[in-house]
């Protein structure tokens, strides 16, 4: 484990990224730094944007792993391209989070092992099963639940720069949450639905702190999102997940 450090190359790599995802430099950069936030107030905010930078980085690794599984499974060309394109979206989100940290005085202490950043999936499974499992975990569950969390943060954001950054991130996350359903529909009845139901249940359980903490302002919203945006569409595809105990109801 070592401190999270992000590097930037510039030159042709930067120019290509900007051409593919324009508008990033137009955000009101410098205004948060200029606001001169006191160190005591900046510390918790830096911690949360540092955590954000790493979770976006992990999302990029996850979409890269999904892209590889889709390639190995011989998935449709445009579906594979969509998954690969989301890696670039997530790297833009990493940049946005990191630049907010920089405005606040730099990243908070944050230990990571990048060697283990990719999601683990049993390499003995056929590629289509690995693709379905990754799509379910990353997109159908992870991205579906990050949409309401980010939207809540965006509404709470007071500063124009943080609000603009969160708006940009939220805009991208909707399509990220839809990809998983496209993968499951393409895989059709070639995947083991009972196994995937277990995967989904475990994954939803990881997010329980979002609705179980005593001061979860968005708890009811999260529970609704689990039922409406994850459990119901999974059931419609023959993947039946029992979550009443996880949701505390
Ligand atoms: Fe993201
Ligand atoms: Fe995402």
Around ion ligand 2, residues with a beta carbon closer than 5 Å are 59, 173, 176
- Token pair 């990353």: residue: 138
CA of 249 to the centre of ligand 1 (A): 30
**Of 96, 97, 90, which is closest to residue 57 (Cα–Cα)?**
90
| Distances in whole angstroms, Cα of residue 228 to Cα of each of 56, 143, 193, 204 | 24, 14, 19, 13
Confidence grade of residue 249 (pLDDT, cut at 50, 70, 90): low
CA of 173 to the centre of ligand 1 (A): 6
Rounded to an integer, what distance in angstroms lies between the CA atom of residue 73 and that of residue 57? Answer: 25
CA of 85 to the centre of ligand 2 (A): 11
Q: Which residues contact 123 (CB under 8 A, 6 or more apart)?
A: 130
Summarize the confidence of residues 215-224 as an average pLDDT.
83
Per-residue confidence (pLDDT) for residue 116, from 0 to 100: 97
pTM: 0.95
Ligand nearest to the CA of 144: 2
Rounded to an integer, what distance in angstroms lies between the CA atom of residue 62 and that of residue 59? Answer: 5
29 has a pLDDT exceeding 70 = yes
Ligand nearest to the CA of 177: 2
Summarize the confidence of residues 175-204 as an average pLDDT.
97
Per-residue confidence (pLDDT) for residue 34, from 0 to 100: 87
């Amino acid at each position: 484990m070592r401190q999270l450090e992000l590097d930037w190359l510039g030159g042709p790599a930067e120019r290509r990224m900007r051409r593919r995802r324009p508008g990033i430099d137009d955000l009101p950069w410098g205004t948060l730094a200029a606001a001169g936030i006191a160190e005591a107030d900046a510390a918790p905010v830096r911690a949360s944007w540092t955590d954000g930078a790493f979770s976006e980085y992990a999302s990029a690794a996850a979409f890269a792993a999904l892209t590889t599984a889709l390639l190995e499974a011989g998935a449709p060309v445009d579906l594979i391209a969509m998954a690969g394109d989301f890696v670039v979206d997530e790297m833009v989100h990493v940049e946005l989070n990191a630049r907010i940290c920089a405005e606040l005085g730099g990243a908070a202490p944050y230990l990571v092992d990048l060697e283990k950043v990719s999601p683990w999936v049993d390499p003995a499974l056929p590629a289509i099963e690995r693709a379905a499992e990754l799509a379910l975990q990353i997109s159908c569950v992870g991205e579906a639940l990050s949409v309401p969390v980010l939207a809540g943060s965006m509404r709470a954001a007071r500063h124009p720069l943080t609000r603009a950054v969160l708006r940009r991130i939220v805009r991208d996350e909707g399509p990220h949450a839809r990809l998983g359903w496209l993968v499951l529909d393409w895989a059709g009845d070639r995947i083991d639905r009972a196994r995937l139901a277990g995967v989904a249940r475990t994954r939803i359980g990881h997010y329980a702190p979002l609705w179980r903490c005593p001061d979860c302002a968005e708890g009811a919203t999260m529970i609704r999102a689990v039922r409406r945006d994850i459990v119901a569409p999974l059931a419609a595809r023959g993947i039946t997940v029992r979550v009443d105990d996880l949701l505390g109801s």
